[in-house]
Homo-oligomer: A and B are copies of this chain.
Amino acid sequence: MNDLNPADLRLVSHSASDGVTTSEFVLGDVTAALWEPEHAEPGTPLVALGHGGGRFRHHPSMTGRARLLTDAGFRAVALDVDGHGPRPRGPEDEKVVAALHAARRAGEPIGPIVEPYNADLARRTVPEWRALLAGLLARPEIGDAPVGFWGITLGTAVGVPLVAEEPLIRAAVFGLFWPSTLLDAARRITVPIEFALQWDDEHIPREGGLALFDAFASTEKSLHVNAGKHMDMPRFEAAGAVRFFERHLCG
């Protein structure tokens, strides 16, 4: 995985609809989609979208955010995390997914399963994101664009170590994850961040989310808390994330 060469990034298809061009890329085993406003200029800010657990690059949560971003003039890109979408699950992945479903059925805490599994997925995915971003920015039609990262749940588990390592990323929106596997990377992040948590999250203890927000070394950081459970994050948070990227990547 670590020997991915950005120069191997290959455009496999593209289509245009309703003012937005969608391009499908592959890089080794990595499948990715790029959305852009028609006639986007080189240097247009690019937001990397990290999908949630069990989802993939074309899940409505990704295409919906991509649409908000292209409507605001951004490019957006999502990749499929290993074992997600078209990328096959290995036997270890299958074992974890089964354990997760069993814990859910039994009403047991899912953190002890999700945290180490997503840390493992992050180790696989961070080098893939870095190669993909390098490959995209090497394309003249994209050029030297300011880059942001936006992902909650698994997107945060991958995004926090990614943003800690990847100097291309200038601003990030995170949320809805436990602290323990992410604190060290969070302490190395200094770019502006927006972090969202749910006040009545049935999976992630309130104090854990606050501790993760506290750990970011960023001097510009905002926490958005909303009443409600894990899945109840209000839709207006997505519009707020777009405004966050407008403040930090544009102009």
Residues of A within 8 A of B (CB): 199, 210, 213-214, 218-228, 234, 236, 240, 243, 247
CB contacts (< 8 Å) of A223 on chain B: these are 199, 223-226
Instruction: Find A247's partner among B210, B221, B228, B236 (CB 8 Å cutoff).
Output: B236
Instruction: Find A227's partner among B218, B224, B225, B247 (CB 8 Å cutoff).
Output: B218
Given contacts A236-B247, A243-B236, A247-B236, contact A220 B225 (CB under 8 A): no
Which residue of chain B is the closest to A218 with respect to CB atoms?
B227
CB contacts (< 8 Å) of A210 on chain B: these are 210
Q: How far is the CA of A87 from the CA of B221 in the complex (A)?
A: 39
Can you name 6 A-B residue pairings with CB atoms under 8 Å?
Answer: A218-B227, A221-B227, A222-B226, A224-B224, A224-B225, A236-B243
B225, A222: Cβ atoms closer than 8 Å: yes
Chain A binding surface, main DSSP class: mixed
CB contacts (< 8 Å) of A247 on chain B: these are 236
A222, B224: Cβ atoms closer than 8 Å: yes
CB contacts (< 8 Å) of A243 on chain B: these are 236
Q: How far is the CA of A240 from the CA of B237 in the complex (A)?
A: 11
Min CB–CB distance A166 → chain B (angstroms): 22
Min CB–CB distance A239 → chain B (angstroms): 8
CB contacts (< 8 Å) of A199 on chain B: these are 213-214, 221, 223
Min CB–CB distance A104 → chain B (angstroms): 25
Min CB–CB distance A11 → chain B (angstroms): 37
Q: How far is the CA of A8 from the CA of B11 in the complex (A)?
A: 73
Given A223-B223, A223-B226; 19 other pairs, CB 8 A cutoff: A199-B213, A199-B214, A213-B225, A218-B227, A220-B227, A221-B226, A221-B227, A222-B224, A222-B225, A222-B226, A222-B227, A222-B234, A223-B224, A223-B225, A224-B224, A224-B225, A225-B225, A236-B243, A240-B240
A219, B224: Cβ atoms closer than 8 Å: no
